[in-house]
Amino acid sequence: MNKSRQNRCKRALLISVSVLICFLGGCGRKFDAVHYTQAVLDWNFQGNIDGIRRYEKDATKEELMQGYQTAVAGFTQAVIGSEFPMDGYKEEEFKELVSKIFTTMRYEVIKAEKKGKNYEVRVEIRPSDVMIRFKNALTTDSLKLAEETAQGKYTGTEEEIQEQLLRDIANRSYELLAVSFEHQEFLEKKEIRLTVERKKDGSYQMDAEDFERLINKILCLDEIQG
């Protein structure tokens, strides 16, 4: 992935993370940072809104689910779409597959420690190698695709060839991601520390960049982005 794509990917990923974070405002009274963090993770990875509703009483179920779906779409565009020009091809299928991948993520909130006005929360994760597998498979397949193109696999006008090529890339990439997901393995445990910040109004909010770092680590995105 070139440097400009890396930067666009990180910006878009942070935006998708912020879609979730902007909702979050845990009540300052009897605040449980461990439960709050678990609720945030379950919302992001499982699409489970049961826990987060305790902190988002003004948000409807539909709004919370829309926030989750928007974040999945943002991740799909930022990370999957950074590898090839998706241009709408199989985008819904990719989002559905990304959602399934998210549900398999392994994490456990260990404990929270008060640090001044804020909380430092320790989370144990088992990173998945699904995106590493996908990246490697794409690299191999791109060489094969270049060879097929040179051998005249695609015919017609320039516009028709481009249409065929984009559709083929999307279909093949989807299959590669599905296979990578099927064969994913989980790596050794790592500990991530997240900051839950106390805001001026007395509510609490997870630090967006810390949360992005957790996503990067649990999906090994930092390794494939270089």
Domain ranges of the chain: 3-225
Distance CA 171, CA 81 (A): 13
Q: Single out the residue of 116, 96, 124, 137 nearest to residue 189, CA to CA.
A: 124
**pTM across the whole model:** 0.86
Helix or strand holding residue 29 (H, E): none
Q: Which two tokens stand for residue 62?
A: 């539909």
According to the model, what pLDDT value does residue 26 have? 55
Q: Is residue 151 helix, strand or coil?
A: coil
Contacts for 98 with CB less than 8 Å, ≥ 6 apart: 72, 75, 76, 80
Residue 7 neighbours by CB distance under 10 Å = 11
According to the model, what pLDDT value does residue 55 have? 82
According to the model, what pLDDT value does residue 23 have? 53
Distance CA 123, CA 194 (A): 8
Q: What is the mean pLDDT of each run of 10 residues along the chain (226 residues)?
A: 46 46 56 93 94 84 90 89 77 95 98 96 98 95 91 91 89 96 98 93 87 94 81
According to the model, what pLDDT value does residue 177 have? 97
Distance CA 74, CA 61 (A): 20
Contact 49, 69 (CB under 8 A): no
